[in-house]
Amino acid sequence: MGSYPTYAEAQRAVDYLSEQDFPVHQVTIVGVDLMQVERVTGRLTWPKVLGGGVLSGAWLGLFIGLVLGFFSPNPWGALVTGLVAGVFFGLITSAVPYAMARGTRDFSSTMQLVAGRYDVLCDPQNAEKARDLLARLAI
């Protein structure tokens, strides 16, 4: 029915079809020419690695301490023990992999799957009607 350079435009086309009472349950948006895009967000240093490990470990330990505190005669002791163990666990699980990498990956990043274009497809029996409707939509 149509190809669009962005997902937002493909979504707009489907919205338009829906507004025209087209049976949109037969419509599919397909991402074509998929690419994995990695965006570098910053440099990794020992303080950042250890700080991140402490924070993530503290949250995990706090959660475990809270859960154990519900069933413990000394809830504060369980909370503090969970917090300390979580911080220690977070430090180890962040420091060891970073040290083993030996500088081969000294940056943080995010990954995203992106399509080169988005095709809007539907069942063949309604394709002509959909194309006629989309021809009236100025994107």
Q: Do both 49 and 101 map to the same domain?
A: yes
Q: 8 to each of 40, 41, 44, 45, 129, how far by Cα in Å?
A: 24, 25, 34, 37, 22
Low-confidence spans in the chain with pLDDT less than 50: none
Q: The whole model's pTM is what?
A: 0.61
Q: Do both 21 and 52 map to the same domain?
A: no
Tokens at 100, concatenated? 């083993």
Q: Do both 14 and 61 map to the same domain?
A: no
Domain range holding 15?
1-36+114-139
Looking at residue 132, what is its pLDDT? 92
pLDDT in tens, 78-118: 999 999 999 999 999 999 999 999 888 889 999 999 999 99
Q: Do both 52 and 27 map to the same domain?
A: no
Nearest to 2 by CA among 100, 139, 113: 139
Q: Do both 22 and 74 map to the same domain?
A: no
Q: In total, how many domains does the chain have?
A: 2
